[in-house]
Amino acid sequence: MIKLGVNSVLYKEFDFATAVRHIALSGYDGVEISAIQGMCEHLDIARWKEQAAELRSVVQENGLSFLSMEFGSVKDEQRLLSALEAAAEIGIPIVNIGPGGKTGVEEDLKQSIDQLQRMSEKAAALGVTLCVKAHIGQAIHDTPTTLRAMSEVTSSAFGIDMDPSHIYRAKENPEEALPAVINRVKHIHIRDCKGREQGPGAIELQACGRGDINLFAYCKAMVDSNYEGPVVLEVIGAKPEHTLAQISIIAAETYGYLNACLKQLGSR
């Protein structure tokens, strides 16, 4: 069964325990813990050993499971190695990273793919899966560049994190793009967006069902392809002025939408 979760970056202005409690109240199965340096570090990679027991306890007490960790762009490979070690110890099966580099720069694409191969091998040794997603503006940014990474990264611990919002903003239809990469898809970040603009947009418009992406068709493509991994809401842009109620409404609204879609499709 597909498991639904929320990236704790949505709750970046709140502590992890508050995030997990409200994610659970919204109906979700699990959580993706944010370790995005400079944005939201519910998991502080520099002190993960101090945090590990408490993080596990918070998740278990709320009846959830760890679905993944969001690391963000890799500026320091040693930090990523520590994140992989933390994931293995805490019981987080997937670490998601950005590809880095710039769109259209061949050398950046080569470096990104080389790094993915190296770090996937490290992940494999720890029993963790390392996923990358196509990201607007970065070296891997659309289906063709994703396919190139898939063809060149051979590690079994490597996977694709398929985010329909980035593919949509790359002027593709996500429901058509998913089948091309599904054989390596091990994680799905999901959110909606209005139009094909560069940024993700206002946080309330990232709630699934609020924007222009045909997310029901995307869910159908998932189910038709027998995908059974995590589907995690990732909303970027929460600010101090957003109340806990505003944040949790986005989470709850998205759960209702996705759960209804997947029930209709026989996958929940």
Amino acid at 55: L
Binned at pLDDT 50, 70 and 90, residue 113 comes out as very high
Residues, the chain: 268
Mean pLDDT check: name the lowest of 73-87, 113-127, 187-201, 246-260.
187-201
Share of the chain above pLDDT 90, in %: 96
Q: Give the pLDDT mean for 90-116.
A: 97
Are residues 190 and 234 in contact, defined by beta-carbon separation less than 8 angstroms?
yes
The rounded distance, in Å, linking the Cα atoms of 140 and 104 is 9
Q: Give the pLDDT mean for 212-233.
A: 98
Are residues 222 and 2 in contact, defined by beta-carbon separation less than 8 angstroms?
yes
pLDDT confidence of residue 256: 99
Average pLDDT, the chain: 97
pLDDT confidence of residue 109: 97
pLDDT confidence of residue 92: 99
Q: Give the pLDDT mean for 16-31.
A: 99
Are residues 179 and 86 in contact, defined by beta-carbon separation less than 8 angstroms?
no
Q: Give the pLDDT mean for 109-138.
A: 97
Q: Give the pLDDT mean for 152-160.
A: 98
Q: Give the pLDDT mean for 188-200.
A: 88
Q: How far is CA 185 from the centre of its chain?
A: 12
**Does residue 77 carry a pLDDT above 80?**
yes
Indicate the fold that domain 3-264 takes in CATH.
Answer: TIM Barrel (3.20.20)
Q: Give the pLDDT mean for 244-264.
A: 99
Q: What is the pTM of this model?
A: 0.97
Instruction: Pick left, alpha or beta for residue 237 (phi over 0 → left; psi -120 to 50 → alpha; otherwise beta).
Output: left
pLDDT confidence of residue 226: 97
**Does residue 185 carry a pLDDT above 90?**
yes
pLDDT confidence of residue 160: 98
Binned at pLDDT 50, 70 and 90, residue 195 comes out as confident
**Does residue 201 carry a pLDDT above 90?**
no
Q: Which helix (H) or strand (E) holds 184?
A: none
pLDDT confidence of residue 199: 77
pLDDT confidence of residue 180: 97
Are residues 250 and 24 in contact, defined by beta-carbon separation less than 8 angstroms?
no
Q: Give the pLDDT mean for 171-177.
A: 95
pLDDT confidence of residue 200: 83
Binned at pLDDT 50, 70 and 90, residue 165 comes out as very high
3-state secondary structure of 230: strand
**Does residue 198 carry a pLDDT above 90?**
no
